[in-house]
Amino acid sequence: MKVDHKHARNVSDLKLGEHAILGALRPDSLYLKLLEMGCLPGTPVCLKLPGDPLCITVGGHDLSLRVEEAQCLALVD
C-alpha cells in the first residue's frame, strides 16, 4: 500500500513558531530514545529553531535533532 505523504506531516514540516500535536512515532532505532526524551504521542510540539539540526520545544524542554530524525515524529492533523 502506498502511503500518501501529502497528508502525513511530520515535525520536519513545521514552520517556525508553529504549534502542533505529536502523532504516532515511526518505529525504528530511534523510537525508544525519542520516547524517553518525552516525544510522546499527543504531546504539543513547537518549532523553536528551523534548519538542520532543528530545535523543537516538546513537553516543556528544548530538544535538538536532525531533519531525518525529526521525520520519525509524525504530526496529528
**Which residues are at the interface with another protein (CB under 8 A)?**
27, 30-38, 40-41, 48-49, 51-53, 55, 59-66, 69
Helices and strands (H and E) in the chain: how many: 2, 5
Annotate 49-62 with DSSP letters as a single string: E-SSSEEEEETTEE
- Amino acid letter, 52: D
Measured from the CB atom, the residue of 9 and 38 that comes closer to another protein is 38
Measured from the CB atom, the residue of 7 and 52 that comes closer to another protein is 52
Annotate 17-35 with DSSP letters as a single string: T-EEEEEEEP-STTHHHHH
Measured from the CB atom, the residue of 25 and 75 that comes closer to another protein is 25
- Least Cβ distance, residue 37 to another protein (angstroms): 6
- Least Cβ distance, residue 12 to another protein (angstroms): 13
